[in-house]
């Protein structure tokens, strides 16, 4: 993707209308039991309850539904550690076209199984995000597939931004929204929806301490690539900030906080015990940030944490809960 492109508020509103018949409007849940541990009024936006178990269906489906049918007739292709894969596979099945997904080595088995169950062909590829995207582009050219990037595409970002609209409508007086920060597509869409509608609402990105690419980029005042370290939060394990999300995040995201793996795990346990929600590590990072005291809050502050997905191997979840 060569052009720098940003979704507008109008793009996000159009995405809402496009997606309305096809996705689940996830609820806002008050998490009273967790509030004493985090020191605020806590609300959860559980995209774990989305049709594919993660928010990624919003962006994937918005992109697919925006394209002319003849353009996608050859099929869709993407690279993903699992949740974007399932979103693309779902969209392709709904539209009756082929889906091919290139996944990294180490992708949780449940994400691969779910993607195959939706009818997609899955190819395991040993390489970082850039190398996998290069492979996707090669395959797209060879087989006339349409490539859909998980976080650089403005229509994908617009689809994710519909979460921000729902939060503003369903949680009156929300003060702060905390969003997992991986490639940057989710927070770019949400931050655009929120800041262009209600600029006073604070938007915070939660990023793993082991892959602090956006945090470091903000310090350096330029996009900064870092060595890829093996955080438990596979869904946000990316070494370089997204080219298109980066300027949106610099414009609209008030703060970026870093979260250690131990606090991410504590977040997963807390969500299971006190909110009865299964969250994968990337989804629990916002709760981890709050448990670690990384965000300054008032006791009366209304905080909404986006839980991005719940697709993780049950045996590994059991080990964490144990």
For 127-138, b/e burial (b = at least 16 CB within 10 A) is eebeebbebbbe
Are 187 and 253 contacting, i.e. CB atoms less than 8 angstroms apart?
Answer: yes
What pLDDT is stored for residue 3 in this prediction? 45
- 3-state helix vs strand vs coil in the chain, percent to 5: 45, 15, 40
- Per-residue 3-state assignment (H helix, E strand, C coil) for 138-153: HHHHHHCCEECCCCCC
Report the candidate in 146, 158, 149, 166 with the shortest Cα–Cα distance to residue 18: 158
The answer on pLDDT for 245 being more than 60 is: yes
Q: Which of 45, 56, 111, 195 is catalytic?
A: 56
pLDDT exceeding 90 applies to what percent of the chain? 77
Q: Which residues, in sequence order, are CB contacts of 62 under 8 Å at separation 6+?
A: 15, 18, 19, 155, 156, 158, 159, 162
pLDDT value, residue 293: 96
> How do beta strands 41-46 and 29-30 pair?
antiparallel
Q: SS3 for 267?
A: helix
Q: In which band, very low, low, confident or very high, does the pLDDT at 1 lie, cut at 50, 70 and 90? A: very low
Question: Helices 185-195 & 9-19, crossing angle to 10 degrees?
Answer: 110
By the 8 A CB rule, do 205 and 246 touch? no
Cβ pair 220, 187 in contact under 8 A? no
Rounded mean pLDDT of 116-130? 88
User: Which of 308, 280, 276, 303 has the alpha carbon at shortest distance from 291?
Assistant: 303
Task: Write the CB contacts of 200 (distance below 8 Å, at least 6 apart in sequence).
Answer: none
| Structure-derived torsion over alpha carbons of residues 178, 182, 186, 188, reported in degrees to the nearest 10 | 90
How far is Cα 18 from Cα 61, in angstroms, rounded to an integer? Answer: 9
Q: What pLDDT, on the 0 to 100 scale, is given for residue 230? A: 83
Read off the pLDDT of residues 155-182 as tens digits, 9 standing for 90 and up: 999 999 999 999 999 999 999 999 999 9
What's the pLDDT band for 321 if we cut at 50, 70, 90? confident
Q: What is the Cα–Cα distance from 136 to 153, expressed in whole angstroms?
A: 15
pLDDT of residue 18: 97
Catalytically annotated residue among 200, 209, 308, 315: 308
Q: Would you say residue 99 has pLDDT above 70?
A: yes
Give pTM, 2 decimals: 0.94
Per-residue pLDDT, 274 = 97
Rounded Cα distance between 99 and 140, Å, is 11
Read off the pLDDT band of 4 (50, 70, 90): low
Q: Among this protein's residues, is 213 annotated catalytic?
A: no
Beta bridge partners of 204: 178, 255
- Those residues with Cβ within 8 angstroms of residue 141's Cβ, 6 or more apart along the chain or in another chain: none
- Residue 2 burial by CB count (10 A; 0-12/13-18/19+): exposed, middle or buried? exposed
Angstrom distance (rounded) from CA 137 to CA 254: 34
Res 234 pLDDT > 80: no
Known catalytic residue at 56 = yes
């Amino acid at each position: 993707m060569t052009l720098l492109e940003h979704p507008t508020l109008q793009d996000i509103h159009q995405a809402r209308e496009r997606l309305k018949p096809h996705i689940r409007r996830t609820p806002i849940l008050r998490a009273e039991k967790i509030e004493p541990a985090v020191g605020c009024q806590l609300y959860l936006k559980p995209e774990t309850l989305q049709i594919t178990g993660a928010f990624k269906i919003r962006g994937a489906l918005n992109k697919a539904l925006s394209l002319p049918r003849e353009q996608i007739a050859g099929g869709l292709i993407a690279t993903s550690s699992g949740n974007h894969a399932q979103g693309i596979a779902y969209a392709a099945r709904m539209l009756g076209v082929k889906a091919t997904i290139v996944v990294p080595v180490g992708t949780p088995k449940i994400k691969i199984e779910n993607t195959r169950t939706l009818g997609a062909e899955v190819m395991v590829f040993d390489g970082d995000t850039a190398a996998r995207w290069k492979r996707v582009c090669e395959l797209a050219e060879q087989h006339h597939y349409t490539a859909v990037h998980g976080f650089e595409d403005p229509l994908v970002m617009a689809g994710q931004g519909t979460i921000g609209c729902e939060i503003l409508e369903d949680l009156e007086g929300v003060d702060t929204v905390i969003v997992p920060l991986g490639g940057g597509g989710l927070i770019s869409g949400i931050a655009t929806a929120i800041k262009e509608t209600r600029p006073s609402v604070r938007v915070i990105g939660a990023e793993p301490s082991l892959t602090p690419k956006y945090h470091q980029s903000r310090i350096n005042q330029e996009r900064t690539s870092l060595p890829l370290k093996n955080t438990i939060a596979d869904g946000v394990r990316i070494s370089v900030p997204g080219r298109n999300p980066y300027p949106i995040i610099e414009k609209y995201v008030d703060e970026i906080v870093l979260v250690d793996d131990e606090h991410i795990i504590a977040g997963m346990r807390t969500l299971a015990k006190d909110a009865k929600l299964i969250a994968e590590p990337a989804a629990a990072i916002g709760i981890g940030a709050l448990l670690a005291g990384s965000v300054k809050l008032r006791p009366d502050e209304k905080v909404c944490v986006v839980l991005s997905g719940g697709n993780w191997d049950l045996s590994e979840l059991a080990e964490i809960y144990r």
